[in-house]
């Protein structure tokens, strides 16, 4: 009888310890998700001579990364430009005249290859690659 009582007590303590461990893990996971992300990475895109940054570069990012695009029309003539990333729901906005700037901040939540472009000038654009973390 004494042996059965000790065995039952051991099982109860083991169950309580396991439950405490599970609760601690759940709390840690929730805290990790509640941590606010740091400041976004800033990417400056200069629009001039029908290109972004002179060569329409491929831009590389990681999934989950916050990015702030600073898009500037740096033409010296009255050429107007625009900016969009259709695959990431960044629509064409109003056209930018020389010297005007558009700020777009987003979190890159999914992987893939996406096009960024000037909605006003066909062929003016590049590739944005979002890789796994």
Half-sphere exposure of 32 (CA within 13 A, CB side): 6
Q: Which pTM value belongs to this model?
A: 0.72
Q: Which two tokens stand for residue 89?
A: 């729901």
Say whether pLDDT at 121 is over 60. yes
pLDDT in tens, 42-63: 999 999 999 999 999 999 999 9
Q: What is the pLDDT of residue 35?
A: 47
Residue 113 CA to residue 131 CA, distance in Å, equals 9
Is the domain spanning 41-131 CATH 3.40.50.300? The answer is no
pLDDT digits (tens, 9 = 90+) for 62-99: 999 999 999 999 999 999 999 999 999 999 999 999 99
Encode burial over 103-130: b for 16+ CB neighbours within 10 A, e otherwise: ebeeebeeeeebebbbbbeeebbbebeb
pLDDT of the residue at 130: 97
Domain ranges of the chain: 1-35, 41-131
């Amino acid at each position: 009888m004494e042996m059965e009582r000790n065995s039952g007590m051991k099982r109860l303590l083991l169950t309580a310890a396991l439950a405490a461990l599970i609760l601690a893990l759940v709390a840690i996971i929730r805290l990790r998700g509640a941590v606010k992300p740091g400041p976004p990475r800033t990417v400056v895109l200069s629009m001039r001579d029908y290109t972004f940054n002179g060569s329409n570069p491929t831009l590389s990012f990681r999934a989950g990364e916050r990015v702030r695009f600073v898009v500037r029309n740096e033409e010296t003539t009255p050429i107007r430009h625009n900016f969009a990333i259709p695959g990431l729901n960044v629509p064409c906005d109003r056209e930018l005249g020389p010297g005007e700037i558009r700020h777009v901040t987003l979190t890159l939540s999914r992987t893939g290859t996406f096009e960024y472009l000037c909605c006003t000038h066909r062929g003016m654009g590049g590739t944005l690659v979002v890789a796994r973390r």
